[in-house]
Structure 1
Amino acid sequence: MIHTKRFGEALQKLGFTFYTGVPCSFLKNLINYAINECEYIGATNEGDAMAIASGAFLGGKRPVVLMQNSGLTNAVSPLVSLNYPFRIPLLGFVSLRGEPGVPDEPQHELMGQITTQMLELMQVQWQFLSSDLAEAKQQLVHAAHVIEQNLPFFFVVKKGTFEQEILQKQEQFLTPNQVKQVKNKADQLPSRYEALSVINAMKDSTTVQLATTGKTGRELYEIEDDKSNFYMVGSMGCVSSLGLGLALTQQNTDIVVIDGDASLLMRMGCLAINGYYHPPNMLHILLDNNAHDSTGGQKTVSHNIDFVEIAASCGYMKSIYVHSLEELETSIKEWKTTKGLTFLHMKIATGSRESLGRPGIKPHAVKERLQMFLHSKSPRLRGVDQT
């Protein structure tokens, strides 16, 4: 078995100090170490953990993601449509529940057979983590080398690999909502393009804009392509988790997350995690047209959801319903002055501009120029944090 603390210290020496994930009994001791000794963000699902880690990487950290192999299925979307096209590397530890020949629960049987095959299909390099500490340290050096090539690397962890690490008492704190403003008049229902134009006009030299997948990113690109913009081209539902990881690691930068109703509905657990960790430099804007606009306008169920109430109950400092473009501008101005994790919900019209194009810049180039932008604001940023 590996001495968990010594293994964790080896990770720290290689620059891996930011952890996120979803617990698994096989990984509990490494998770306990991360909680005790490092920065650990507990995610509601593995896909969001991948996005949080990816945001942390953009912000200059070397992130680690921890998950059970059943959760690897939840991480597939960001692995193949976020990390792969944007060339965002990270270090993963995935347990091997259901290992062939080892008694386990029936729900793990198939996943145990296909875990490593899934990693290979996704072109993720991997190794079984050795239970010998000296060998495991050498494996870490190899993994770090792979990550330096902008590729993810995963360790597959068998039962009993880590020695016991006692979880120290975890502090729990409340993040109560302070401002909640609900709908109280008719909606203006501007177009998405009009709303994005107002948002974009409010940015300054310390602002990063993250636009969700689909027509939101495409229209923002058409309004103004900027080195501080990030256009999600996949991993639907992950944009605010990406924003969380970035906001926590780039605290002197304003992170504006532009979300859509279908996207947010897909991964609503992100609201709870965002609210709990409450980065004050993050503004979460929901442009809600009650439709899957990019795929033909099929209706979502957003008309049946009180997003303002949900965000408030999840711990967003401010949760505000915005009725018009004027209110949108006023709310953004106020946030820039007062800060605090803020959620703005605005209803918009369906449809988009005719002959709407797509970003003419490759995803990995979007990532690289954003890193350069952040580096210009934060001298310590060199793609990854070596401290």
Structure 2
Amino acid sequence: MIDTGQFGEELKQSGFTFYTGVPCSFLKNLINYAINDCEYVGATNEGDALAIASGAYLGGKYPVVLMQNSGLANAVSPLVSLNYTFQIPLLGFVSLRGEPGIPDEPQHELMGQITTRLLDLMQVSWAYLSSDIVKAKDQIQQAMVDIRRNRPFFFVVKKGTFQKEILQPQELKPSSHPLKQIKSTYDQLPTRYEALSMIHSLKDNNTVQLATTGKTGRELYEIEDDAGNFYMVGSMGCISSVGLGLSLSQNNKDVIVIDGDGALLMRMGSLATNGYYSPPNMLHILLDNNAHDSTGGQKTVSDNINFVEITAACGYKKSIYVHNLEQLKTSIMAWKMEKGLTFLHLKIAVGSKKNLPRPHIKPYEVKDRLRKFLNSGSFNQQGDDQP
């Protein structure tokens, strides 16, 4: 078995101090170490953990993601459409529940057979983590070869790999009484383009704007391509988790997350994580048209959802329903002055700008440019920083 603390210190020496994930009994001792000695963000699902880690990487961290192999299925979307597409590296640990020949619960049987094949299909490099500390240290350095090439690397962890690590007492973070402002009058229903134009007009050199997948990112790009913009493609629903990881890693920057109702509904568990960790430098704006606009205008169920009440209950400091562009402007300006994790809900019209182009800049170029914007001076000639 590996001395968990010694292995964790070796990870620290290689630059890994930011952890996120979902617990597994095979990984509990490494998770306990991360909670005790590093920065750890507990995610509600494994896909969100990948997105949180990706945001932390954008902010200059080298992140670690921990998950059970059953949760690897939850992580498929961001691994193939976020990490692969944007060339965002991370170090992953996935347990091998259901290992063939070893008795386990029935729900792990199939995933135990296909875990490594699934990693291969996603073009994710991996290795079985050795239970010998000397060999394990060498494996970390081998993993760094892929990570320096902007690729994820996963260790597959068998039962009994890590020695016991006692979890230190954890302090709960009780949420304070949130400020809520609910719908009180009719909605102006501006276009998405008008709302994005208003948001962008208030941007300064200390602000990062993260736009959800679909028409939101494309319209923001059309308004003005900016080094401080991130245009999500794929990984629907992950944008606020990326924002969380980035906000926690870059607390001197203002991070504005621009979401859509279909995307937010897909991964609503992220709201609880955002609220618990509550970065004061994150503003979460929902542009809600009650439709999947990018796929033909099919209705979402957002008309039945009170997002202000939900985000307030999840721990957002302020949750505000804004009825028009002027209130949107006033609320953004107030947040810039007062800070605190804030959610703004604006109803917008269905539809998008006609003849809308796609960004000409490639996703990995967007990532490299944003990292340089955030971490000027820390890059080598290839656009990478060294852990």
TM range (shorter): over 0.9
Asked if the contact 1:192–1:216 (Cα under 8 Å) also holds between the matched residues in 2, the reply is yes
Deviation of 1:385 (Å): 7.0
| C-alpha distance in 2 between matches for 1:384 and 1:123 | 23
| C-alpha distance in 1 between matches for 2:363 and 2:131 | 38
Let me know the Cα RMSD of the aligned residues. Answer: 1.0
| C-alpha distance in 2 between matches for 1:125 and 1:278 | 33
Q: What SS does structure 2 have at the residue aligned with 1:208?
A: strand
| C-alpha distance in 2 between matches for 1:266 and 1:354 | 26
Return closer, same or farther for 1:64/1:275 CA change in 2, 3 Å cut-off: same
| C-alpha distance in 1 between matches for 2:386 and 2:39 | 13
The aligned amino acid for 2:131 is: S
Unpaired segments of 5 or more residues in structure 1? none
Unpaired segments of 5 or more residues in structure 2? none
| C-alpha distance in 2 between matches for 1:154 and 1:360 | 32
Superposition TM-score, scaled by structure 1 size: 0.98
Q: What SS does structure 2 have at the residue aligned with 1:66?
A: strand
Q: What SS does structure 2 have at the residue aligned with 1:74?
A: coil
Q: How does 1:50-89 map to 2 (within 5 A)?
A: 50-89=50-89
Asked if the contact 1:60–1:381 (Cα under 8 Å) also holds between the matched residues in 2, the reply is no
| C-alpha distance in 2 between matches for 1:32 and 1:375 | 30
Asked if the contact 1:261–1:302 (Cα under 8 Å) also holds between the matched residues in 2, the reply is yes
| C-alpha distance in 2 between matches for 1:130 and 1:178 | 48
Q: Which residue of 2 aligns with 1:171?
A: 171
| C-alpha distance in 1 between matches for 2:92 and 2:342 | 31
Asked if the contact 2:378–2:385 (Cα under 8 Å) also holds between the matched residues in 1, the reply is no
Q: What SS does structure 2 have at the residue aligned with 1:257?
A: strand
Q: Which residue of 2 aligns with 1:153?
A: 153
Deviation of 1:124 (Å): 0.3
The aligned amino acid for 2:319 is: S
Deviation readout 1:289-330 (Å, 9 max, x if unpaired): 000000000000000000000000111010000000000000
Q: Which residue of 1 aligns with 2:8?
A: 8
| C-alpha distance in 2 between matches for 1:48 and 1:219 | 25
| C-alpha distance in 1 between matches for 2:362 and 2:379 | 22
Q: Which residue of 2 aligns with 1:100?
A: 100
Q: Which residue of 2 aligns with 1:122?
A: 122
The aligned amino acid for 1:330 is: T
Q: Which residue of 2 aligns with 1:259?
A: 259
Deviation of 1:177 (Å): 4.0
Q: What SS does structure 2 have at the residue aligned with 1:276?
A: helix
| C-alpha distance in 2 between matches for 1:334 and 1:164 | 48
The aligned amino acid for 1:343 is: F
The aligned amino acid for 2:58 is: L
Q: Which residue of 2 aligns with 1:230?
A: 230
Q: Which residue of 2 aligns with 1:321?
A: 321
Q: How does 1:195-206 map to 2 (within 5 A)?
A: 195-206=195-206
Deviation of 1:175 (Å): 2.3
Q: Which residue of 1 aligns with 2:292?
A: 292
Q: Which residue of 1 aligns with 2:277?
A: 277
Return closer, same or farther for 1:384/1:36 CA change in 2, 3 Å cut-off: farther
| C-alpha distance in 1 between matches for 2:295 and 2:29 | 44
Asked if the contact 1:210–1:257 (Cα under 8 Å) also holds between the matched residues in 2, the reply is yes
Q: Which residue of 1 aligns with 2:366?
A: 366
| C-alpha distance in 1 between matches for 2:245 and 2:285 | 17
Deviation readout 1:35-58 (Å, 9 max, x if unpaired): 000000000000000000000001
Q: Which residue of 1 aligns with 2:345?
A: 345
More off after superposition, 176-185 vs 103-112: 176-185
Deviation readout 1:94-149 (Å, 9 max, x if unpaired): 00000000000000000000000000000000000001010000000111121011
Q: Which residue of 2 aligns with 1:357?
A: 357
Q: What SS does structure 1 have at the residue aligned with 2:126?
A: strand
Superposition TM-score, scaled by structure 2 size: 0.98
